[in-house]
Amino acid sequence: MSNDVEFENSIRKMLEHVGEDINREGLIDTPSRVRKAFEFMCSGYNQDPKEILQKALFTSSNDEMVVVKDIEFYSQCEHHMLPIIGKVHVAYIPNGKVVGLSKIPRVIDVFARRLQIQEQLTEQICDALNEHLQPKGVAVMIDARHMCMEMRGVQKICSTTVTSALRGLFKTNKKTKDEFLSIVSSSLHK
């Protein structure tokens, strides 16, 4: 039995388990649609941030902070497989190289399109940028809503979780860290 068929059969069993009629018109193609959705939502397992970043590194004399903020992302929590929806703010201080700006959201998607916890997602993005750009510093902040807190459990609607990861000058130089926080603070809790 192929993995696709096995996955779709699992979805059929889940639908039956919750009391659905899997032969109902609206559900006939649902197992296939869910499989395809999960293949997309978990596509980050098949991507390498190094490949993405190394295709767009450019020599530059710029040594000032580069900030890309309000990058929307969608992920799924690894505990309940429910959505995490939020924004990522990224800053780095070049060290002889800059990266094409579109590559930063692509790296975010590599890690967001995996089952995640927000704390780990923040660290993975920061570490990938730090390792492959080799900048003087990297800062990543994520502000996100967790549907596992809103749709079930404590049901706290619109609460957000903020996480950060700092490397290099962002961790060792208070002025650099404060500049980053000042730039992104206007975006928090929007």
Write down the catalytic residue from 20, 47, 123, 148. 148
Residue 118 annotated among the catalytic residues of the structure? yes
Residue 42 annotated among the catalytic residues of the structure? no
Write down the catalytic residue from 16, 54, 72, 79. 79
Write down the catalytic residue from 118, 124, 126, 132. 118
Q: Which one, of 149, 37, 33, 139, lies nearest residue 84 by Cα?
A: 149
DSSP letters, 47-85, are --HHHHHHTTEEE----S-EEEEEEEEEEEETTT--EEE
Write down the catalytic residue from 47, 77, 120, 134. 77
Residue 17 annotated among the catalytic residues of the structure? no
Residue 79 annotated among the catalytic residues of the structure? yes
Write down the catalytic residue from 39, 51, 78, 119. 78
- Rounded to whole angstroms, what are the CA distances from 38 to 5, 15, 72, 81? 14, 16, 19, 10
Residue 189 annotated among the catalytic residues of the structure? no
Look up residue 16 and give its two tokens. 């039956």
Write down the catalytic residue from 80, 120, 123, 134. 80
Catalytic residues: 77-80, 118, 146, 148
